[in-house]
Structure 1
Amino acid sequence: MLFKFRPLMATAAKVRATPAVAASTAAAELDEHVHYKHTDACHHLRWTAKESYEYMYARPWSRVVDFYADLVRAGAGAAGLAKLFGKDEKDYTLDTTEEKNYLTPSEKQTATISSKDRGGRWERVTFKIVLSYHGGSFDGWQKQPGLNTVQGLVEKHLGQFVDERKAKQLEARSLPIEGCAIVAGRTDKGVTALQQVCSFYTWRKDVKYGDIKHAINEAAPDKLKPLHVLEVAREFHPNFSAKWRRYMYIFPLDEDAKLILEEEHSSKVLENYDHNIKPQSFDVAKVDKILKKLAGKTLSYKMFARDTQASRSVGPPTECFMFHSRAAVAKLYSANEDYKEGMRVMCFELVANRFLRKMVRVLVATAIREAAAGAGEDALLNLMDATDRRATAPPAPPEGLCLVDVGYEDFSKQRCFIVD
């Protein structure tokens, strides 16, 4: 299935400048916009970083933002996505009936020592909290001064459950009495989460699950919703105990897009090859084939990461194992009466043991760019060996990204939305 693009946004006309100013400006632009030199057969058809960025941000993202807002408001968690793919919500409902065992063999042996023979942190109570929040309503997860973040809001409302000793320590340091929420994975501004996982601990024994749920629920009604609260073993860590994370990216397709036969797309690519004209369509099925090549492999995704620390830009810290990577067309419906007909979108479903910063967004943008250029199915695999991150496309907008859920049991494809 192929779709036709709208033209890329036109660039503003440049004002005539003096030779000296023009020369310095040209030199600055040369430094800022040096393009990676691809050497494959379709290098002349590949969008530049600017062209890719403009195309991605020209999509009707407000429809996707509204869709995510409706999901968070409904409080169905990951199950809310089932209708997009014609699935039964009951098969994806959050399991709240059983307490999982998050201990490794070495931790199990250590845990056999009774807590009464220990003191301090072994006597504290740890709670696992599953949250749903709308990315468009917050400045990301991580607490930052002067910003409306999810962590800042959650910790503020957990302050009422802090034990007396910690409260006195905070008061002595002239700090607000707040709880400490440890998260499975931080999300950027604009990124929604349907089943984010965080933990909170206290030495108080009188704290009940319902009290925590009620407190967080009052923080930002319809924008931040606690789905489940459960007491877990002290060794539980939302990040380190997790075995996989699942992300969904919803990419709006043109409302006036016309279906193009595969033969017609092939002829367009050949025509573009002769006249050096950038392609005007991409094949959704081709995007899916490109993504499928990543599944079942441990690979270094350093070329697809952004804003990472130098120590985490080389070696094992860049390696991720991709359990599942697919793309498919779906119909996006909204509660807004103006959009009852629905909008065609392309959904990306990615499941891995971990993800690097902005990795999903770069993978989405690069997969679309490569499919449009007519690259082979190994396009993303070939880019793993690139020498510069400019070889990949700029990150797709955060509004399309959603952290679906986090898994603490072995991954099962039965819970995937996009399958053959």
Structure 2
Amino acid sequence: MATAAAAAAKPAPALSFSTAAAEGDEHAHYNHTDACHHLRWTAKESYEYMYARPWSRVVDFYAELVRTGAGAAGLADLFGKDENGYSLDTNGEDYTAPSENQTSTKSSKDRGGRWERVTFKIVLSYHGGSFDGWQKQPGLNTVQGLVEKHLGQFVDEKKAKQLEARSLPLEGCAVVAGRTDKGVTALQQVCSFYTWRKDVKSSDIKDAINKAAPDKLRPLHVSQVSREFHPNFAAKWRRYLYIFPLDEDVKLISGEEQSAKTVEGPECNIKPQSFDVGKVDKIIRQLEGKSLSYKMFARDTQASRSVGPPTECFMFHSRAAVAKLHTADENCEEGTTRAICIELVANRFLRKMVRVLVATAIREAAAGAEEDALLNLMEATCRRATAPPAPPDGLCLVDVGYEDFNRQRCFIVD
């Protein structure tokens, strides 16, 4: 009770909206009045800094992971981990097939409707730069649209007639664990598909999807699961990784040489040109183990969904570290790119939440803000207080968990 009272009595962060900008200025932003070593980037400056990166190397890195079908294990080498510990588990399913679960669904075979259908769990890997996001949209090349098109051959006769009567294409219905935006890669996305046909096999579905977009969309595993399985509602956590490439000619932002350096005197009025990786880690760690409302870090969220529990997320794990990407260019010449990797694991994520968190954490680290900078911004009243979303090219949905969270399976650990 004392903790709750203290939290309620905590003053709101000192933020004021800048009205000095010209009437036609599209880059109006907040004036943060807390003490920092440098001036903060404006929204325009933050956007330009984020996009002025060698993003093609990150895109190529993700493309190679998808092409090889490595899944989460493909990232293990990036952090010096044993790949075997991160391989996709296909031996033990979290939801058993109906034939293996007769004791818990004793009367299910006497029921009709959905109890007669067969449900399949599909684990997918796809390259974000090759698609217009997950959600099916008219005239766009989306992952859902492509998957459902190739699942059409497995729908039952009744469903096929219904689609034909409505002049709709013969397509299946894929329910996903979480929709990803255009440009966002997924290494172990989970979706489900059901049909009333009894002759459909897991291998048939895998082969059909595998032909949809070779090297860009890859089914890693397909299995028959219980009828109760829902990829979204049954998920206990999701893991995202953001890879932000650093300037190759700037060595002072590694965090090792700049972490103890402070700027005093008149230099506090200059705009930063880089950021401290160690500071980003300290700032992002403050979110770990807390259930908070991330409405200030969400985008494109309806007003009715911007207050109360619908915007609350529990962050299991939030860390940042420097890693080296090994990529090859179009001439097959291998190279190494230094990057900061931010790993976030939560029970749920809001739209563009990870990208805004990454951009804001980097902006705050560059300004030399306190470690509780993100926590203070939770209490802001306008989303202009946070930075514009970081580019989608660096974001990757690593995997979705249906078992209790295990910190030892994270890439960035103490």
The answer on 1:40 being equivalent to 2:34 is: yes
The answer on 1:374 being equivalent to 2:338 is: no
Q: 2:70 aligns with which of 72, 76, 91?
A: 76
Match of 1:135 in 2: 128
Q: 1:237 aligns with which of 219, 230, 242?
A: 230
Q: 1:27 aligns with which of 23, 26, 39?
A: 23
Amino acid at match of 1:367: A
Structure 1: tracts of 5 or more residues without a match: 1-24
Match of 1:362 in 2: 356
Aligned-partner Cα distance in 2 for 1:374–1:334: 32
The answer on 1:298 being equivalent to 2:294 is: no
Which SS does the other structure have where 1:333 is aligned? strand
Q: How does 1:160-199 map to 2 (within 5 A)?
A: 160-199=153-192
Conservation of the 8 A alpha-carbon contact between 2:298 and 2:356: yes
Conservation of the 8 A alpha-carbon contact between 1:133 and 1:194: yes
- The alpha-carbon deviation at position 114 of structure 1 amounts to 1.6
- The alpha-carbon deviation at position 256 of structure 1 amounts to 0.7
Aligned-partner Cα distance in 2 for 1:118–1:46: 62
For residues 204-239 of structure 1, what are the alpha-carbon distances to aligned partners after superposition, in whole Å with 9 as ceiling and x for unaligned? 000001000000000000000000001111111000
Aligned-partner Cα distance in 2 for 1:326–1:264: 19
Question: What TM-score results when the alignment is normalised by the length of structure 1?
Answer: 0.89
* Cα gap change, 1:210 to 1:35, in 2 (>3 Å): same
Which SS does the other structure have where 2:30 is aligned? coil
Amino acid at match of 1:182: V
Conservation of the 8 A alpha-carbon contact between 1:138 and 1:150: yes
Q: 1:117 aligns with which of 101, 110, 117?
A: 110
Percent sequence identity is: 82
Match of 2:14 in 1: none
Match of 2:343 in 1: 349
Amino acid at match of 2:318: S
Which SS does the other structure have where 1:95 is aligned? coil
The answer on 1:281 being equivalent to 2:274 is: yes
Q: 2:301 aligns with which of 267, 288, 308?
A: 308
Aligned-partner Cα distance in 2 for 1:66–1:88: 23
The CA RMSD over aligned residues, in Å, is: 2.1
Q: 1:318 aligns with which of 303, 311, 327?
A: 311
Bigger share in helix? 1
- The alpha-carbon deviation at position 111 of structure 1 amounts to 5.5
- The alpha-carbon deviation at position 118 of structure 1 amounts to 0.9
Amino acid at match of 2:308: G
Match of 2:246 in 1: 253
Match of 1:222 in 2: 215
The answer on 1:147 being equivalent to 2:143 is: no
Conservation of the 8 A alpha-carbon contact between 1:102 and 1:236: no
Aligned-partner Cα distance in 2 for 1:263–1:66: 30
Which SS does the other structure have where 2:133 is aligned? coil
Q: 1:386 aligns with which of 375, 380, 383?
A: 380
Conservation of the 8 A alpha-carbon contact between 1:251 and 1:347: yes
Amino acid at match of 2:206: K
Q: How does 1:402-417 map to 2 (within 5 A)?
A: 402-417=396-411
For residues 363-411 of structure 1, what are the alpha-carbon distances to aligned partners after superposition, in whole Å with 9 as ceiling and x for unaligned? 0000000001000111111111111111110000000000000000000
- The alpha-carbon deviation at position 116 of structure 1 amounts to 2.7
Which SS does the other structure have where 2:170 is aligned? coil
Alignment: residue pair count:
389
Aligned-partner Cα distance in 2 for 1:341–1:193: 24
Q: 1:97 aligns with which of 91, 95, 107?
A: 91
- The alpha-carbon deviation at position 279 of structure 1 amounts to 1.7
* Cα gap change, 1:312 to 1:43, in 2 (>3 Å): farther
Greater CA drift, 299-308 or 92-101: 92-101
- The alpha-carbon deviation at position 262 of structure 1 amounts to 6.7
Q: 2:327 aligns with which of 312, 328, 334?
A: 334
Aligned-partner Cα distance in 2 for 1:377–1:61: 28
Greater CA drift, 309-318 or 195-204: 309-318
Which SS does the other structure have where 1:152 is aligned? helix
- The alpha-carbon deviation at position 115 of structure 1 amounts to 2.1
Greater CA drift, 258-267 or 233-242: 258-267
Question: What TM-score results when the alignment is normalised by the length of structure 2?
Answer: 0.90
Conservation of the 8 A alpha-carbon contact between 1:333 and 1:339: no
Structure 2: tracts of 5 or more residues without a match: 1-20
Which SS does the other structure have where 1:140 is aligned? coil
Amino acid at match of 1:284: V
Aligned-partner Cα distance in 2 for 1:259–1:57: 20
Amino acid at match of 2:195: T
- The alpha-carbon deviation at position 190 of structure 1 amounts to 0.3
Match of 2:395 in 1: 401
Aligned-partner Cα distance in 2 for 1:310–1:115: 41
Which SS does the other structure have where 2:408 is aligned? helix
